[in-house]
Chain A
Amino acid sequence: MKWAIVRFPGSNCDEDARFALEKAGIRAEFVWHTAQDLRGFDGVFLPGGFSYGDYLRAGALAAKSPVMAEVRRFAQEGRYVIGVCNGFQVLTEAGLLPGALLANLNLHFTCKEVGVRVERTDLPFTRLYRQGQVLRLPIAHAEGRYYADPETLKRLEGEGQVVFRYAPLGEEAHYNPNGSLNDIAGIVNERGNVLGMMPHPERAVDPILGGEDGLPLFLGLVQEVAG
């Protein structure tokens, strides 16, 4: 099994994504933002970072880069695409996922561990989690407030496209770190093959790094092919 990790100029979680994929037993290769061929890959990972310096708007320029035309076709073929953090922003800017990621309500970059509840487990990304399980995952972003118009939001909820939601780890009242609507932390497209999420599962794949709640997400991808 082989995944592509797209490197935009300014991507900075590319190595971390490779570390996580390889830990799950998946071969991972970097693909430059000018690449026009994704044949031979089983999935595409859009990593976090500040693609093109986040100039204009986070993810806006990357969404127009040559490789994204390929990623779009790849997704339309029903193959798997994951965008984390800046990768999620790129996916919404590219129109591969609905909604937008606005500035956090606290108006600054926030890096900390948050609770993330798994809302459905029938996807390869989540099949190894329990329904309703609350994961400990790190966030690190300044623009992560999920927003969509009421109609889109209703459709997302109705179709079960909300995969991850911020949730309390303990008894804390303020568990939503950025003001996302409906506490949304991650969504999939209708077909269920394109996942975007703000928390970083690739940063939580080893006890040395403070936790491994992110690892089952990557292990689930392996099972998809095996099964």
Chain B
Amino acid sequence: METLAREIGIPQEEYRAILKRLGREPNRVELFLFKVMWSEHCAYKNSRPLLKELPKEGEAVLQGPGENAGVVRIGEGWAVAFKIESHNHPSAVEPFQGAATGVGGIIRDIMSMGARPIALLDSLRFGPPEDERSRYLLKGVVSGIAHYGNAIGVPTVGGDLYFHEGYRENPLVNAMCLGLLREEHLKRSRASLGRPIYYAGAKTGRDGIGGAAFASKELSEDKEEDRPAVQVGDPFLGKLLMEATLEAIQEDLVEGVQDMGAAGLTSSLSELAHKSGLGVELDLDRVPTRERGMGPIELLLSESQERMVLVPKEGKERELEEVFRKWGLDCVPVARTIPERVFRVLFRGEVVAEVPTEALAEAPTYVRLAQEDPEVKRLRETPIPPLAADPGETLLQLLASPNLASREAVFERYDHQVGTRTALVPGKGDAAVLWVKGTRLGIAAKVDQNPRYSRLHPRLGAMHALAEASRNVSVVGAKPLAYTDGLNLGSPETPEGYHELQETIAGLKEASEALGLPVVSGNVSLYNESGGRRIPPTAMVGVVGVLEIDKRAEMGFRRPGEVVLLLGEEEGELGASEVLYLLTGQEVGHPPRIDLERERDVQEAIRELIALGLTQTAHDLAEGGLLVALAEMTFPYGLGATVEVRKGGLAALFGEGASRILFTVPKERLAEATLRLETRGLPYRILGETGGKTLTVLTPEGVLEWEVRALLAAWQKPLREVLDG
């Protein structure tokens, strides 16, 4: 067995830990159970000790990390379940199915909480768009998301997309889903003693088994050569499963629900039992299959999609079966809970595995040696080279650069309105806003992360990610409640990689505490590296907030004659900025510092102005700096503005920084608005006025002027060419 353990990649010290926990040698099947349950993906071996440090408590939190998704209260008895999850490795191999099944998986996580999935956001990272493979991956991923999300009828309302050299070999595909539920419908992965456990949904096949990276000879139970390593998603089945599951919850037929995701039956059943403080006996002969001759390891590890685990309430078994029959789906008891805390597996009437659930659930954790990569330090400490460029041309080039160009060509392929809850469609606001129909409540959501900042300063980068996602939620008028984090990094087994993991989580912790935002769910994807090149540490942070639906702000200038104001510092910084990269091709320098107290105050201030009706137009000033943000505000309604700046240098016009927001106020209410800011002691500046068909900027060096139409054309074209080409 020790040889087999080595061959399937179980480290020697972990094999010894298995022997110790079992008090005997595992058999073949058991060894595979440990292999998947102790994988980094399922067990968070490297991240768990660090993640412990993150704040998880908050007034609004109904369910923190540890379940299929986190849940927050939003008022009037309503709650929102949400989570982000990665599907990086499958998407790198087969972008269409990888992304599609990523979407399907996160939707099932949300359903498991008893919530109706109402929105998707995607956080995507690729290599430069000039690279043919990166373009292929982008197109495949976008098609896969559209394929699954559009058909299952969950709108894709937002996300973010960056191109960066660091993702050339390791693209990132993270999907976030939000679900709406009544508080009393909240479900967890729980079962009481002696209950039957039902398997519902699609039949089990051999797909996805290779996804766990086993040597094929270890799966010698079947002789088929062409076993797909990537799972295949079927949104139609997913839709039926979603409706049937939600109907069962609505009708109060189930006591526990669990998604069958990574590591299939093994993970879903052993975790359900472990969380319930019980054991489980699984009879593999009852599992619906779509292929013949599947052995126990295949059945246990298959990651076939569109499957759920349900525990009926006592006496509701027949009704549950009836609901699934109506939707044309299998729903059969395959297991039952038992008092002995073991995961017991029967195959053809014999016990083929029996392992304590605790041993499976509690994998060993690692705290490793950490050291900063000297190359990263060198780049961060590299002085910014002197920059000279014509600002007129620079703005057009920045708007057309891959990370700032319009995402319209992407989000146009996603149904962003199905469900008729979308109150701010992509491109209209800094965060998506969804309406809870029948109430005046709105939900805002945004996911953010800047790879340049994170690469040069992992801790600061993570702080920016949370601060910016939160700022974007505030800027539409919503109070941020909590967040989900998708951590994507390189191998933790090198001191440099572990340092980045440590620093990223430390940054999240610091920002969480300062902004008062708990984490309620998340995902960790490590080993995103190839040839010794790690991806930039990428903490994709998804923030969810709540607002009064009638008091939401858009990003576009709508009414001429309104005053344009800048809240926050006038000048930005050039370190790690887009303009620096555009003009020099370099990613160097110290990313902008962030004063978290200021950040919190600025966000509170803009929320107050929106709530008082003093502004209906607000926009986060982010990558590309002041002029890019102003240009973006002219796009939604084609309305221009004239502004004056006190400094004309590139740092003033294109520099970046945290805690900066642009907004407009009707003239007659200007004094009221500025008084609010002065009371809070926040810096602000009146820049100018909306109106006309141009963006006109008066600088000490002269007047800059662009036709809005010309800016729009430059901004819209590049990504459309990439996607349609």
User: Which residues of A come within 8 Å of B, CB atoms?
Assistant: 9-10, 12-13, 15-16, 19-20, 32, 48-50, 52-55, 106, 108-112, 138, 140, 142, 200, 202-203, 205-206, 208-210
Task: Report the nearest A residue to B153, measured CB to CB.
Answer: A12
Cα distance, A10 to B239, chains bound together (Å) = 6
CB distance from B439 to the nearest CB of A (A): 11
B419 on the interface (CB 8 Å rule)?
A: yes
Whether the pair A50, B239 counts as a contact (CB closer than 8 A) is yes
Would you give the 0/1 interface string for B55-91, flagging 1 where the beta carbon is closer than 8 Å to chain A?
A: 0000000000000000000000000000000000000
**Given A9-B327, A53-B234, residue A208 in contact with residue B151 (CB < 8 A):** no
Cα distance, A99 to B419, chains bound together (Å) = 28
* Additional A-B contact list (8), CB under 8 Å, known A54-B236, A109-B415, A206-B420: A12-B153, A12-B418, A50-B153, A53-B151, A109-B146, A110-B413, A111-B411, A142-B150
Cα distance, A100 to B437, chains bound together (Å) = 35
**Given A53-B234, A53-B236, A210-B425, residue A13 in contact with residue B418 (CB < 8 A):** yes
B724 on the interface (CB 8 Å rule)?
A: yes
User: Can you show 10 pairs from A to B with CB atoms below 8 A apart?
Assistant: A10-B236, A10-B239, A15-B419, A53-B237, A54-B151, A109-B150, A203-B417, A208-B549, A208-B550, A210-B423
Chain B residues within an 8 Å CB radius of A109: 146, 150, 413-415
Cα distance, A19 to B421, chains bound together (Å) = 11
CB distance from A190 to the nearest CB of B (A): 32
Chain B residues within an 8 Å CB radius of A205: 420
Chain A residues within an 8 Å CB radius of B234: 53
Would you give the 0/1 interface string for B401-420, flagging 1 where the beta carbon is closer than 8 Å to chain A?
A: 00000000001111111111
Whether the pair A9, B724 counts as a contact (CB closer than 8 A) is no
Would you give the 0/1 interface string for B306-326, flagging 1 where the beta carbon is closer than 8 Å to chain A?
A: 000000000000000000001
The winner among B414, B418, B425 for most chain A CB atoms within 10 A is B418
CB distance from A178 to the nearest CB of B (A): 12
B11 on the interface (CB 8 Å rule)?
A: no
CB distance from B574 to the nearest CB of A (A): 36
CB distance from B597 to the nearest CB of A (A): 35
Whether the pair A52, B417 counts as a contact (CB closer than 8 A) is no
Classify chain B's interface size: 35 or more
Say which residue of B152, B235, B413, B437 sits within 8 Å of A111 (CB atoms): B413
Whether the pair B152, A9 counts as a contact (CB closer than 8 A) is no
CB distance from B320 to the nearest CB of A (A): 19
CB distance from B19 to the nearest CB of A (A): 48
B651 on the interface (CB 8 Å rule)?
A: no
Cα distance, A52 to B419, chains bound together (Å) = 19
Whether the pair B152, A12 counts as a contact (CB closer than 8 A) is yes
CB distance from A109 to the nearest CB of B (A): 5
B435 on the interface (CB 8 Å rule)?
A: yes
Chain A residues within an 8 Å CB radius of B472: none
CB distance from B327 to the nearest CB of A (A): 7
Whether the pair A140, B239 counts as a contact (CB closer than 8 A) is no
Cα distance, A205 to B435, chains bound together (Å) = 13
Cα distance, A32 to B240, chains bound together (Å) = 13
Task: Report the nearest B residue to A34, measured CB to CB.
Answer: B326
Say which residue of A9, A15, A20, A110 sits within 8 Å of B328 (CB atoms): A9
Cα distance, A111 to B550, chains bound together (Å) = 24
Say which residue of A13, A15, A108 sits within 8 Å of B413 (CB atoms): A108
Say which residue of A19, A52, A210 sits within 8 Å of B236 (CB atoms): A52
Cα distance, A186 to B415, chains bound together (Å) = 20
CB distance from B713 to the nearest CB of A (A): 13
Whether the pair B435, A111 counts as a contact (CB closer than 8 A) is no
Query: What's the count of A-B pairs with C-beta under 8 Å?
Result: 88
User: Which residues of B come within 8 Å of A, CB atoms?
Assistant: 143, 146, 150-153, 234-237, 239-240, 326-328, 411-423, 425, 428, 435, 437, 549-550, 724
The winner among B146, B412, B414, B724 for most chain A CB atoms within 10 A is B412
**Given A53-B236, A140-B418, A210-B425, residue A10 in contact with residue B413 (CB < 8 A):** no
CB distance from B41 to the nearest CB of A (A): 29
Chain B residues within an 8 Å CB radius of A140: 150, 415, 417-418
Task: Report the nearest B residue to A48, measured CB to CB.
Answer: B418
CB distance from B235 to the nearest CB of A (A): 7
Chain B residues within an 8 Å CB radius of A19: 420, 437
Cα distance, A48 to B420, chains bound together (Å) = 12
Chain A residues within an 8 Å CB radius of B421: 209
CB distance from B452 to the nearest CB of A (A): 31
Whether the pair A111, B420 counts as a contact (CB closer than 8 A) is no
Whether the pair A138, B151 counts as a contact (CB closer than 8 A) is no
Cα distance, A16 to B235, chains bound together (Å) = 19
Cα distance, A55 to B328, chains bound together (Å) = 16
Say which residue of A10, A13, A108 sits within 8 Å of B146 (CB atoms): A108
**Given A9-B236, A12-B153, residue A209 in contact with residue B423 (CB < 8 A):** yes
The winner among A48, A110, A138 for most chain B CB atoms within 10 A is A138
The winner among B235, B415, B420, B425 for most chain A CB atoms within 10 A is B420
Cα distance, A55 to B237, chains bound together (Å) = 12
4 shortest interchain CB distances as A-B pairs: A12-B153, A53-B236, A50-B151, A16-B420
Chain A residues within an 8 Å CB radius of B550: 208
Say which residue of A10, A53, A111, A206 sits within 8 Å of B412 (CB atoms): A111
Whether the pair A50, B236 counts as a contact (CB closer than 8 A) is yes
Chain B residues within an 8 Å CB radius of A55: 236
Cα distance, A54 to B151, chains bound together (Å) = 9
Chain B residues within an 8 Å CB radius of A52: 236
CB distance from B142 to the nearest CB of A (A): 9
CB distance from B502 to the nearest CB of A (A): 41
Whether the pair A10, B420 counts as a contact (CB closer than 8 A) is no
Whether the pair A106, B150 counts as a contact (CB closer than 8 A) is no
The winner among A32, A142, A205 for most chain B CB atoms within 10 A is A142
Task: Report the nearest B residue to A170, measured CB to CB.
Answer: B638
Whether the pair A112, B435 counts as a contact (CB closer than 8 A) is no
Cα distance, A54 to B152, chains bound together (Å) = 11
Chain A residues within an 8 Å CB radius of B412: 110-112
Chain A residues within an 8 Å CB radius of B435: 208-209
CB distance from B115 to the nearest CB of A (A): 15
Chain B residues within an 8 Å CB radius of A111: 150, 411-417
Chain B residues within an 8 Å CB radius of A202: 420
CB distance from B305 to the nearest CB of A (A): 14
Cα distance, A10 to B152, chains bound together (Å) = 7
Cα distance, A206 to B411, chains bound together (Å) = 22
Whether the pair A12, B239 counts as a contact (CB closer than 8 A) is yes
The winner among B150, B411, B423, B724 for most chain A CB atoms within 10 A is B150
